[in-house]
């Protein structure tokens, strides 16, 4: 299995259990690991049509994070995972969402794993 990574994607949004979190934007840091099968065809052809283009994936994630507010990052993670997995070439997804501005001495977050059946 070959993997595409999108790391350290920083997007500001208004999500959280507490009302203040939904009023004032805070940073969300995302890391994605996309299992895309074998990338040798894309490597040989050097054609983006043979590869999973991570640009549109990044744009969709930005829309989700900057859009509707959610109480839980679990909700964000599930929504993002469903959107990413719409591309049937993506076989697995490992997604981490961190909230680096919540506490001064540590970073809370969530990691989920999804696999196509």
> Among all residues, which ones are annotated catalytic?
99
Q: What is the token pair recorded at 117?
A: 């059946």
Query: Exposed/middle/buried for 38, CB within 10 Å: 0-12, 13-18, 19+?
Result: exposed
Of the candidates 4, 23, 57, 93, which has an alpha carbon nearest to the alpha carbon of residue 12? Answer: 23
Q: What is the token pair recorded at 43?
A: 């490597």
Beta bridge partners of 12: 27
Q: What is the token pair recorded at 20?
A: 């203040």
CA distance 62 to 67: 8
């Amino acid at each position: 299995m070959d993997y595409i990574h999108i790391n350290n994607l920083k997007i500001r949004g208004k999500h959280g259990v507490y009302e203040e979190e939904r009023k004032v934007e805070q940073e969300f840091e995302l890391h994605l690991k996309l299992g895309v099968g074998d990338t040798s065809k894309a490597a040989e052809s050097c054609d983006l049509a043979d590869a999973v283009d991570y640009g549109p994936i990044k744009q969709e994630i930005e829309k989700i994070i900057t859009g509707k507010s959610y109480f839980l990052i679990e909700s964000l993670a599930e929504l993002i995972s469903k959107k990413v997995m719409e591309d049937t070439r993506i076989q697995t997804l490992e997604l981490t969402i961190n909230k680096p501005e919540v506490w001064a001495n540590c970073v809370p977050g969530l990691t989920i794993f999804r696999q196509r059946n």
